[in-house]
């Protein structure tokens, strides 16, 4: 499991990728991407500014659309390696710990 030390690191590279655009394309992307994802602009802002230490995750389908838009792999949209669990790790976990790890329990 990856430990995030810097609490200001963003979870996703959306801001980095949008900031790379020239100003006109930047403005257009910020207007079009929420519509493309079928979400409101406020939710899109939440995607952009989610910290790596937060438990919030955007839906995988939205991550796939963004990766396609930015012409990269989904894994390249993260600012850190996503945590992974193998089947052996999951089968050894206590049910309560597994539910918490999957975000099913607050």
Give the pLDDT score at 93. Answer: 67
Q: Interior CA angle at 57 toward 56 and 61, to 5°?
A: 155
The C-alpha R_g of the chain, in whole angstroms, comes to 16
What's the confidence (pLDDT) of residue 88? 72
In the prediction, which pLDDT does 1 show? 44
User: Which among 87, 86, 85, 38 is positioned nearest to 59, based on CA atoms?
Assistant: 38
User: pLDDT digits over 26-39, tens only?
Assistant: 999 999 999 999 99
CA angle in degrees (0–180, nearest 5) for 10-24-49: 15
Q: Which residues in the chain come in under a pLDDT of 70? A: 1-7, 82-85, 89-106
d(CA 95, CA 43): 31
Tokens of 70: 């930015």
pLDDT reported for residue 101? 64
- What pTM, to 2 d.p., does this model score? 0.71
Predicted local distance difference test score (pLDDT) of residue 7:
65
């Amino acid at each position: 499991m990856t430990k995030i030390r810097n609490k200001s690191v963003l979870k996703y590279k959306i801001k980095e990728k949008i900031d790379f655009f020239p100003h006109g394309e930047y403005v257009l992307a910020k207007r079009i991407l929420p519509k493309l994802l079928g979400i409101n602009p406020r939710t899109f802002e939440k995607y952009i500014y989610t910290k790596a230490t937060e438990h919030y995750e955007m839906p995988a389908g939205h991550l796939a659309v963004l990766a396609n838009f930015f012409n990269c792999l989904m894994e390249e949209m993260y600012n850190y390696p996503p945590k992974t669990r193998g089947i052996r790790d999951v089968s050894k976990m206590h049910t309560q710990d597994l539910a918490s790890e999957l975000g099913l329990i607050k």
